[in-house]
């Protein structure tokens, strides 16, 4: 076991159970397929990191664990999320990894498919000189939170109105009240609605990332199967602020479905 880990929160990709707000805008079929693309792109990136990666899945049953093990492979550790609201689950995830002996841990969700590996290097570096690290999201939440074992603050997950626009500020206030020195990561886009999807897609165009989906294996896979089954090799390319990119499946899916582009109001230039 290593001293650092990343806890990756995922839900069972089941129609009507994931990306429900996005599904209201683009339909449950596309929302489900995009969610699986998000997971594929993020796990492809996480494989490049040296830390232990823990796939923390929901719902908590053996069928869900078997699904993710068969889909994502044996590169990762697998651990069910506990029962309770999001705050209870995240608090317990940190308590479990610190009890297991990890000294530093980060937790992320699956709403930001273009996160580059450099963000995680930076986050772990920040934990060497701070009590906590947090990355604000565009919707008022956060895309990452992390602690060292000796500075963990369980109160950061209590009394927060989850899925609201005040999650980040409420969490920061909890950390301040408990005298934690916090380092901030750059703001990132969480894709929960069609407007988020449009904003994210426009950012990929602006950073020149559309070339990341030119790999014919990925485009063929998505056109043929609709839902990617396993990660395809990714080409090298430049991403946000010249960071490495990891969004080939997500971008290729958008570009391969003309009806998605229409109903999402995504206009290609």
pLDDT band at 148 (very low <50, low <70, confident <90, very high): very high
Q: Confirm whether 268 is domain-assigned.
A: no
What SS3 state is found at 95?
Answer: helix
Please state, in angstroms and rounded to a whole number, the distance separating the CA atoms of residues 196 and 184: 22
pLDDT surpassing 50 at residue 237: no
Kindly give, in sequence order, each residue whose CB lies less than 8 Å from that of residue 253, ignoring residues fewer than 6 positions away: 33, 34, 37, 222, 228, 260
- DSSP of 193-237, one letter per residue? SHHHHHHHHHHHHHTTGGGGG--HHHHHHHHHHSS--SPPPPPP-
What SS3 state is found at 31?
Answer: helix
Q: Confirm whether 269 is domain-assigned.
A: no
pLDDT band at 132 (very low <50, low <70, confident <90, very high): very high
Please state, in angstroms and rounded to a whole number, the distance separating the CA atoms of residues 31 and 110: 13
Instruction: Report the domain count for the chain.
Output: 2
The reply to whether 66 and 155 lie within a common domain is yes
Q: Which residue has the higher pLDDT, 2 or 79?
A: 79
The reply to whether 83 and 203 lie within a common domain is no
Please state, in angstroms and rounded to a whole number, the distance separating the CA atoms of residues 145 and 185: 9
The reply to whether 136 and 245 lie within a common domain is no
The reply to whether 172 and 198 lie within a common domain is no
> Residue 176 sits in a domain of what CATH number?
3.90.550.10
Residues in the chain: 269
In this structure, the strands spanning 77-80 and 104-108 are unpaired
What is the mean predicted confidence (pLDDT) over 55-67? 96
pLDDT band at 267 (very low <50, low <70, confident <90, very high): very low
The reply to whether 144 and 228 lie within a common domain is no
Residue 58, domain extent: 4-184
The reply to whether 218 and 128 lie within a common domain is no
pLDDT tens-digit map of 71-84: 999 999 999 999 99
Nearest to 79 by CA among 92, 171, 71, 87: 92
What is the mean predicted confidence (pLDDT) over 222-240? 35
Helices (H), the chain: 20-26, 28-46, 62-72, 86-99, 117-126, 167-177, 194-206, 216-225, 248-256, 258-263
The reply to whether 35 and 115 lie within a common domain is yes
Residues 147/127, Cβ–Cβ less than 8 Å:
yes
Please state the pTM of the whole predicted model.
0.86
């Amino acid at each position: 076991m290593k001293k650092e880990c990343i806890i990756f929160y995922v839900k069972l990709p089941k129609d009507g159970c994931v990306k429900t707000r996005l599904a209201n805008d683009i339909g449950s079929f596309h929302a489900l397929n995009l969610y699986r693309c998000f997971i594929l792109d993020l796990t492809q990136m996480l494989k490049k990191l040296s830390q232990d990666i823990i796939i923390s899945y929901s719902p908590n049953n053996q069928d869900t664990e078997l699904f993710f093990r068969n889909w994502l492979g044996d590169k990762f550790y697998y651990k069910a999320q506990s029962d309770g609201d999001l705050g209870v689950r995240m608090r317990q995830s940190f308590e479990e990894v610190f009890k297991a002996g990890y000294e530093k841990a980060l937790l992320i969700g699956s709403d930001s498919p273009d996160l580059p590996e450099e963000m995680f290097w930076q986050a772990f570096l920040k934990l060497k000189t701070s009590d906590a690290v947090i990355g604000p999201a565009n919707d008022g939440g956060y895309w990452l939170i992390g602690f060292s074992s000796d500075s963990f603050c369980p109160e950061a997950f209590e009394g927060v109105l989850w899925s609201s626009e005040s999650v980040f500020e409420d969490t920061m206030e909890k950390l301040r009240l408990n005298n934690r020195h916090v380092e901030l990561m750059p703001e990132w886009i969480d894709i929960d609605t069609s407007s988020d999807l449009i904003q994210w897609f426009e950012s990929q165009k602006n950073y020149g990332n559309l070339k990341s989906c030119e790999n014919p294996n990925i485009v063929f896979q998505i056109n043929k199967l609709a839902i990617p089954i396993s990660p395809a090799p990714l080409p090298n390319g430049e991403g946000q602020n010249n960071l490495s990119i990891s969004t080939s499946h997500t971008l290729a899916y958008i570009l391969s479905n003309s009806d998605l582009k229409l109903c999402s109001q995504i206009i290609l230039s």
